[in-house]
Structure 1
Amino acid sequence: MNEKLLEVKDLKRHFNSGRKGVLKAVDGLTFDIYKGETFGLVGESGCGKSTTGRTIIRLYEATSGQVKFDGEDVHGKKSTSELRAFNRKMQMIFQDPSSSLNPRMTVLDIIAEGLDNHKLVNNAKERQARVEELLEIVGLNKEHANRFPHEFSGGQRQRIGIARALAVEPKFIIADEPISALDVSIQAQVVNLLKKLQRDFGLTYLFIAHDLSMVKYLSDRIGVMYFGNMVELADSDELYRNPIHPYTKSLLSAIPLPDPIYEKSRKRIAYDPSIHNADEPAEFREIKPRHWVRCTPSEFEQYKAEHGV
């Protein structure tokens, strides 16, 4: 395993929701991401996936816990220059390319914004050339530089967002449901582009999504979230072959397959959180090597017995 690039320890992000009290969007996440890998983070809408990504990149301040990137504390006090350096190392691709691109700016200015902020080009000629290079890297034409976002399809706009993220040559990219707003026919193209860029530039990804089949295709390891907590974490193939937590089994049972006979008999497994003993403390425990599950002490023994550990 490569060295750790990102370390998340007991991360919490709570919101004050007025009369409803405190919303615990992220409530004690612990996981690591290694250099060069893709870590998939999955779960239903509202489970805290996107809040996790935004807290890691400091769009939200952490309520408590720690995030370390390249050995440095992300949420510690930082000077303007330190924040600028951090922002160059870590970038984000957003879910909706329509709302994440400024409609009043040309593609040239959108992509070059990071180049300008970090002073990575010396003059307008270099700026133009670098943007045109980035457009070609993501599968667009240099002639697109002078157009506006509304002139492009959803898939093309997401490619522009990817080019913007690549402009500052980051080490780590958080992809927050980058394909969920796209047509199915376009989703595979964007995912294949992300895989190619990872190979070409040695990138590390946190890939956030709710489509488990697409996450499996792209990710080396997968963490499953449920209401602010991570309930299972394992290598991608292992998680799909041998899911342990009942919630993971429920998610996997909902994945459709292009097989009419299978679909006719497929049984959806409903997850009932009341099956867990609320009187026992649930913790993240390693059931098998590299396979972690949030469980109580009695569930821990049960899961080990069921899997012959």
Structure 2
Amino acid sequence: MSEKQKLLEIQNLKQHFKTGKHSVVKAVDGLTFDIYKGETFGLVGESGCGKSTTGRTIIRLYDATDGEVYFNGENVHGKKDRAELKKFNREMQMIFQDPYASLNPRMKVLDIIAEGMDIHGLAENEKQRKARVQELLETVGLNKEHANRYPHEFSGGQRQRIGIARALAVDPSFIIADEPISALDVSIQAQVVNLLKKLQREHNLTYLFIAHDLSMVKYISDRIGVMYFGKMVELADADDLYKHPIHPYTQSLLSAIPLPDPDYERSRERFTYDPNDHDTSEQPEFREVRPGHWVSCTTKEFEHYKKEHGVTV
């Protein structure tokens, strides 16, 4: 993408939770990265690394412990009046992980999808409201007749499509997709990802796509950030990250991806990451090892990575 325009800027974001009188869990501990307009930024890592907490803090479901989040140049966590919050909530939407728990079982699909429209006054009358919901249902690959049904009448994949329609209903510019395919059958996952890509092209959307399935993240993402225990350890273009993983944790994640090749699988060498093997002489910093390829490392590791990967920055 030429002339990249920053849509989201995250600076030293922290989200700490007190778990006892003197105990604190550092779920997110100093993240800094940007997301550009029109791109899909993939955020990956093992369960418990802080990916979902990052998404929920960005969208202000949690108040940040420290750091700044800027959306279109405005501080997300700054003081906002009701009108400003309403505008922000329309611009940024979220697709949740569990399509079963994220839809109110007592509401018809029509009212679930139209809820945001009602809040923001986007339909002038009942006829326009119904027509818009039916249009959204067809946009996500469902039938307009589905509007009068309840969530329990749908499969998991269909429910996630309803969740996507609900997010689209207020015409957002940025969507956080929080593990949107992890609860779905493998056969349905690709369909949902292809739908998200199609909608991105048609509606000029920007995504933060959170997942632990690296192969699927590569398929949908322009750039990928790898998280480990609340910190970003590597960030690069999707292809570069896969072809030239630098941080040992990223290498371990990629080495665990199975391929449909029995001969390869029998001889595949799995790499195990041990954080104790790292240089502990100084605190690691985020450094640009290759153009656009950032890695958390010490000065000594940085020199080693530059030499090993043959690029002088």
Normalised by the shorter chain, which TM-score bucket?
over 0.9
Structure-1 separation of matches of 2:145 and 2:283: 59
Matching residue within 288, 292, 295 for 1:293: 295
In the alignment, which residue of structure 2 is the partner of 1:18? 20
Deviation at 1:275, TM superposition (A): 1.3
Q: For residues 151 and 20 of structure 1, do their structure 2 counterparts lie closer, same or farther at Cα, with a shift above 3 Å needed?
A: farther
In the alignment, which residue of structure 2 is the partner of 1:128? 130
In the alignment, which residue of structure 2 is the partner of 1:176? 178
Matching residue within 222, 227, 240 for 1:225: 227
Paired residue secondary structure (1:100): coil
Paired residue secondary structure (1:98): coil
Q: Say if 1:281 and 1:297, in contact at 8 Å, map to a contact too.
A: no
After TM superposition, what 4+ stretches of structure 1 lie above 3 angstroms from structure 2? none
Deviation at 1:155, TM superposition (A): 0.2
- What is the identity, as a one-letter code, of the residue corresponding to 2:129? R
Instruction: Give the aligned length.
Output: 309
* Unmatched tracts of structure 2, length 5 or more: none
- What is the identity, as a one-letter code, of the residue corresponding to 2:63? E
In the alignment, which residue of structure 1 is the partner of 2:78? 76
> Deviations for 1:37-61, whole angstroms, at most 9, x for unmatched residues?
0000000000000000000000000
Matching residue within 112, 115, 119 for 2:114: 112
Deviation at 1:77, TM superposition (A): 0.2
Structure-2 separation of matches of 1:134 and 1:10: 37
Matching residue within 245, 248, 261 for 2:247: 245
- What is the identity, as a one-letter code, of the residue corresponding to 1:275? D
- What is the identity, as a one-letter code, of the residue corresponding to 2:80? K
Q: Where in structure 2 are the equivalents of 1:1-309 lying within 5 Å?
A: 1=2, 2-18=4-20, 21-309=23-311
> Deviations for 1:161-211, whole angstroms, at most 9, x for unmatched residues?
000000000000000000000000000000000000000000000000000
- What is the identity, as a one-letter code, of the residue corresponding to 1:151? E
Structure-2 separation of matches of 1:121 and 1:141: 20
- What is the identity, as a one-letter code, of the residue corresponding to 1:186? I
Structure-2 separation of matches of 1:25 and 1:98: 25
* Unmatched tracts of structure 1, length 5 or more: none
Q: Say if 1:6 and 1:68, in contact at 8 Å, map to a contact too.
A: yes
Deviation at 1:220, TM superposition (A): 0.2
How many percent of aligned residue pairs carry the same amino acid?
Answer: 77
Q: Comparing 270-279 with 200-209, which one deviates more in the overlay?
A: 270-279
Deviation at 1:20, TM superposition (A): 6.6
> Deviations for 1:97-151, whole angstroms, at most 9, x for unmatched residues?
1000000000000000000000000111111000000000000000000100000
Paired residue secondary structure (2:124): coil
Q: Say if 1:232 and 1:292, in contact at 8 Å, map to a contact too.
A: yes
- What is the identity, as a one-letter code, of the residue corresponding to 1:159? R
Structure-2 separation of matches of 1:14 and 1:260: 44
Q: Comparing 252-261 with 279-288, which one deviates more in the overlay?
A: 279-288
| TM-score of the pair, normalised by structure 2 | 0.98
Paired residue secondary structure (2:122): coil
| TM-score of the pair, normalised by structure 1 | 0.99
Deviation at 1:19, TM superposition (A): 5.3
Structure-2 separation of matches of 1:308 and 1:20: 46
Paired residue secondary structure (1:44): coil
Deviation at 1:267, TM superposition (A): 1.4
Structure-2 separation of matches of 1:279 and 1:72: 38
Q: Say if 1:4 and 1:34, in contact at 8 Å, map to a contact too.
A: yes
